[in-house]
């Protein structure tokens, strides 16, 4: 009985769907066509390739940018700072003879001011070398990728 009723429902559904007349208007069709054309233009852009950049490529670029930023900051600070020209007084002050109270036992403390200019320059040279290495590596990887 249930099966008979089901069959009746199936037949009725199949018959009634023929009475549904949905017409796509010309305006809707032109909207669909315009959106597909827009999607087509987007698809033709090489977006996929940019998204699928390998990890080493991204990390190389990040390293390059970080190194460039550090060098830029160092150079900026050096340009802004007044040049350090030691005068005669400073030269004399480089050797400090401690007071009596500062003496440890029988050994006098001979203290010299730290000269920071040379290590910073060395650091800059090292950074520039690193930057050059990264640049060469990125160029090599780009050649092998493209």
Partner 1 sequence: MATDEQLAEAAKRGSAAAFDELVERYQGRLLRFLLGRCNNRADAEDAIQDTFVNAYRYLQSYDPRWRFSTWLYRIAIRNAARQPHSSTGDAAEPIDAVDPLASCIEQSERQNLWLVAREQISGDAYSALWLRYAEDLPLADVARALDRSLAWTKVSLMRSRRRLAAALRQETAAGERGEMYGKV
Positions that interact with partner 1 (CB under 8 A): 2, 5-6, 8-10, 12-14, 16-17, 19-24, 28-29, 31-33, 35-36, 39-40, 42-43
Looking at the Cβ atoms of 31 and 103, the one nearer to partner 1 is: 31
Contacts 24+ apart (CB under 8 A), 73-82: 74/120, 74/123, 74/124, 74/127
CB of 61 to partner 1, least distance (A): 28
Looking at the Cβ atoms of 44 and 106, the one nearer to partner 1 is: 44
Asked if 71 and 124 count as a contact pair (C-beta separation under 8 A), the reply is yes
CB of 57 to partner 1, least distance (A): 24
Looking at the Cβ atoms of 22 and 92, the one nearer to partner 1 is: 22
Looking at the Cβ atoms of 16 and 87, the one nearer to partner 1 is: 16
CA–CA dist 93, 96 (Å, integer): 6
Q: Which residues of 9-35 are buried (b: 16+ CB within 10 A; e: fewer)?
A: eeeeeeeeeeeeeeeeeeeeeeeeeee
Q: Which residues of 85-104 are buried (b: 16+ CB within 10 A; e: fewer)?
A: eeeeeeeeeeeeeeeeeeee
Looking at the Cβ atoms of 40 and 89, the one nearer to partner 1 is: 40
CA–CA dist 118, 39 (Å, integer): 59
CB of 30 to partner 1, least distance (A): 11
CB of 23 to partner 1, least distance (A): 7
CB of 25 to partner 1, least distance (A): 8
């Amino acid at each position: 009985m249930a099966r008979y009723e089901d069959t009746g429902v199936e037949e009725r559904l199949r018959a009634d769907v023929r009475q549904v007349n949905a017409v796509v208007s010309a305006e809707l069709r032109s909207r669909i066509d315009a959106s597909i054309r827009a999607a087509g233009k987007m698809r033709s852009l090489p977006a996929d390739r940019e998204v699928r950049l390998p990890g080493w490529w991204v990390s190389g670029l990040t390293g390059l940018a970080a190194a460039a930023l550090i060098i830029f900051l160092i150079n900026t600070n050096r340009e802004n700072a007044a040049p350090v020209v030691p005068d005669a007084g400073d030269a004399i002050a480089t050797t400090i003879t401690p007071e009596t109270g500062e003496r440890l036992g029988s050994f006098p403390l001979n203290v010299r001011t730290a000269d920071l200019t040379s290590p910073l320059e060395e650091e800059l040279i090292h950074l520039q070398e690193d930057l050059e290495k990264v640049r060469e590596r990125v160029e090599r990887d780009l050649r092998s990728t493209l």
